[in-house]
Structure 1
Amino acid sequence: MSWSMPVYTAPDFTKEPFVHAPDVTLVPAPTDGGAPDQYHSMSIFPEYFKINGHWLLAEESRMDCVPVYDGQKIRIVEFRNLKKGDLVVIGRKECGEEGIYVHVDGFLTEEEKHKDTFVFRTGRSRETSYSKDYDSIYELLRHEKAHGKVVWILGPACAFDADSRKAFSDLVRNGYVNGLMAGNALATHDLEAAYLGTALGQDIYTQKLAPLGHYNHLDTINKVRQYGSIHSFIEQEHIDNGIIAACDQCHVPLVLAGSIRDDGPLPEVIGNVYQAQDAMRAMISDATTIICMATMLHSIATGNMFPSYRMVDGVVRPTYFYCVDISEFAVNKLRDRGSLSVDSIVTNVQDFIVNVRNNLCC
């Protein structure tokens, strides 16, 4: 059976409990950065709010944020971005009793709605069969290349191997990457590989350690800082390979979020955590598919910002969120943090990205 986009089934608001449900209660925020008591907190699912007798969908959502009515639509706002007087939705019942409805099964097929209660092997582990997942990813990315936006979140392991660097670069150059988010380490080690042939001083193909190789990533950062930007470094040093160079040359936007342990860092790394969070949310605000590889903290952060749906040209469609990691702990922790719609693949990310490239670009 060929892949197709699931169809969204909205609630039937002509029936109960919706018809006689009350309007939501709206209470002004008492202060900048603070919500009123009994505020409603958002989930990853489509949520509707009854205002002036009409059910409004929050079109751009984010988990653990609060819904604000601006007189026309529902905006979803981080607590830190609330302004005194913002009209915040109050209520913690989610089946219409308080004018709030969380729609959890809008994309379920009839088969999924009537699946068996007791089944084996519903989790995602190293024993899971991932053949269908790979096939679905290939078809999804072909669809998204023409109709969506794919953002990738990469950990430094993706830059430690010559084949995985080449594979991801090929995906960039073939139009399967619309945005890249990472930390200082991914960009540093990828540029080190292009500049000096090593990642953390180890040859990216032979794995041999270079003499004084522990200086290589620092020398790379220092050289980029001397040039003032990654783009200038790539141009002036004639860098023609790797993940970051492909993004730079194909005008794929980057968000590099810093951490407390960063060396350097590279000039483009955002050191303020809330500015980095804002930049990440801006990049994924219209994303329809996200693929996270070998970066637990960035994956969890992104998952907390990414809803299970997106409004595109007036139509609600599902979003797709994959987490690829060799650690079962990492992918399960992501689900434990509320990202229930994530599809996890427990495997070596270097093998994963080569397989994806081989099926899409060859």
Structure 2
Amino acid sequence: MMFQLPDYDYPDFNEDYFQNAPNLRTLPAPLDGVVPENFYATTIFPEFFKIHGRWRLICESRMDCVVVISDDIPKAVEFRNVKKGDAVVVGRHEDGGNGVYVDHFAFKSKDRKGDNFSFRTSNSRETSCSRDYDHLYRLLEYEREHGSILWVLGPAVTFDQDSRNAMTKLINLGYVDALFAGNALATHDLESHFFNTALGQDIYSKENISLGHYHHIETINRARRCGSLENLIDVYKIEDGIVNACIKNKIPLVLAGSIRDDGPLPGVHADVYEAQDALRIHTKKATTVICLATQLHTIATGNMTPSYQVVDGVVRPVYFYTVDISEFVVNKLRDRGSLNSEAFITNIQDFMVNLQRNLST
């Protein structure tokens, strides 16, 4: 069965209520990085703003931003990026009464059908994921041709030989449009090439290697000596692994540093706001996001990703998957209120191998 996107039912702005609603109000930002009192803050849902009598949908949205009107176009802007004098939308009603309407029911049936009470309505460690896997296979096959797939990886993906190879194959097969991770993911992927270890442990046998604790910092030192990951690949003739696949396939690789990093590798964003800006380039256009075994990066990405995208003039949902062995981690993202956050509570290595095998057939 082929994957098919759900249709989005626009609000009927020809209704008297919307026709009679006032235009939105704006006030100028008093200072760079400072907005007026009673500012409006964005959500993850489709938001419409009435400007000169016309309701306009904000594109490239993000939660917890303000809305700046520029050339009659509403734009989601982070507080830190607001400039003095920007026309900032004010008013905190979301029902259209102040020129702002939030469609909380996007891609959901307005008329709920079925029982109001039922068991096991969300995924847990007891949930069978067979149907979820089948849906994900179809979705990724669709997105490879029509969407933009963003992966958010924790270093556990590289701790096993088979899962590292599986991720590499998915990149080579075209199922990755951008990849977000920390210093550790790239470090241990490259360590696996040089030493067949991750944090000094053999990635197949799981045996701890003598003096293996040197391996990741030796890897970082070689990369820093080369000046860039691209030069490292060339100098050492690296032909395997996730970093190599991204570079050879020209897949954007956004690496964000943290306070606990060793090194870090060249190319890692040491400034958190630079990393945020680099990631937002890809969350602005991502139509499916898959987050693997990384709580902090998953939550960060979730907070930057809207529940919808506008692709070729069509409003469509963003599909957001979290994969982790911990129920706490996947439920943490659900708390942000995403419409399409789906969870796989499973071992990350098993998930990757299953995914790659089924997408390669």
Aligning the two structures, in what range does the TM-score lie when normalised by the shorter sequence? over 0.9
* Change in CA separation of 1:268 and 1:67 when aligned onto 2, cut-off 3 Å: same
Q: Give the conservation status (yes or no) of the 8 Å contact 1:45–1:104.
A: yes
Q: Give the conservation status (yes or no) of the 8 Å contact 2:148–2:287.
A: yes
Q: Give the conservation status (yes or no) of the 8 Å contact 1:58–1:74.
A: yes
Which range moved further: 113-122 or 97-106? 113-122
Which range moved further: 57-66 or 19-28? 19-28
Query: Residue 323 of structure 2 aligns to a residue in which SS?
Result: strand
Residue 129 of structure 1, CA deviation: 2.3
- In structure 1, give the amino acid aligned to 2:26: L
- In structure 2, give the amino acid aligned to 1:15: E
Aligned length: 361
Over aligned residue pairs, what C-alpha RMSD do you find? 1.3
Query: Residue 307 of structure 1 aligns to a residue in which SS?
Result: coil
Q: Could you tell me which runs of 5 or more consecutive residues in structure 2 were left unpaired when the two chains were aligned.
A: none
Q: Give the conservation status (yes or no) of the 8 Å contact 1:154–1:181.
A: yes
Q: After TM superposition, list the pairs within 5 Å mapping 1:198-217 onto structure 2.
A: 198-217=197-216
Query: Residue 162 of structure 2 aligns to a residue in which SS?
Result: helix
Residue by residue, what CA displacement relative to the aligned partner does 1:135-171 show, whole Å, maximum 9, x if unpaired? 1110011111111110100000000000000001110
* 1:50 paired residue number: 50
* 1:172 paired residue number: 171
Residue by residue, what CA displacement relative to the aligned partner does 1:19-70 show, whole Å, maximum 9, x if unpaired? 2111111111111101111111111100001111111100110000011111
* 2:80 paired residue number: 80
Q: Could you tell me which runs of 5 or more consecutive residues in structure 1 were left unpaired when the two chains were aligned.
A: none
Structure 1 length-normalised TM: 0.97
Question: Percent same amino acid among aligned pairs?
Answer: 55
1:22 aligns with 2:16: no
Q: Please give the alpha-carbon distance, in whole angstroms, between the structure 2 residues aligned to 1:121 and 1:60.
A: 34
Q: Give the conservation status (yes or no) of the 8 Å contact 1:304–1:339.
A: no
* 1:35 paired residue number: 35
Q: Give the conservation status (yes or no) of the 8 Å contact 1:68–1:86.
A: yes
* 2:331 paired residue number: 332
* 1:265 paired residue number: 264
- In structure 2, give the amino acid aligned to 1:41: A
Q: Please give the alpha-carbon distance, in whole angstroms, between the structure 2 residues aligned to 1:22 and 1:142.
A: 44
Q: Give the conservation status (yes or no) of the 8 Å contact 1:46–1:309.
A: yes
Q: Give the conservation status (yes or no) of the 8 Å contact 1:125–1:328.
A: yes
Residue 96 of structure 1, CA deviation: 1.1
* 1:70 paired residue number: 70
* 1:141 paired residue number: 140
* 2:312 paired residue number: 313
Residue 204 of structure 1, CA deviation: 0.2
Residue 108 of structure 1, CA deviation: 2.0
Q: Give the conservation status (yes or no) of the 8 Å contact 1:304–1:338.
A: no
Q: Please give the alpha-carbon distance, in whole angstroms, between the structure 2 residues aligned to 1:9 and 1:188.
A: 46
Residue by residue, what CA displacement relative to the aligned partner does 1:290-330 show, whole Å, maximum 9, x if unpaired? 10000011011100110111111111111111111111111
Q: Please give the alpha-carbon distance, in whole angstroms, between the structure 2 residues aligned to 1:200 and 1:90.
A: 51
Residue 83 of structure 1, CA deviation: 0.5
* 1:103 paired residue number: 103
Q: After TM superposition, list the pairs within 5 Å mapping 1:269-280 onto structure 2.
A: 269-280=268-279
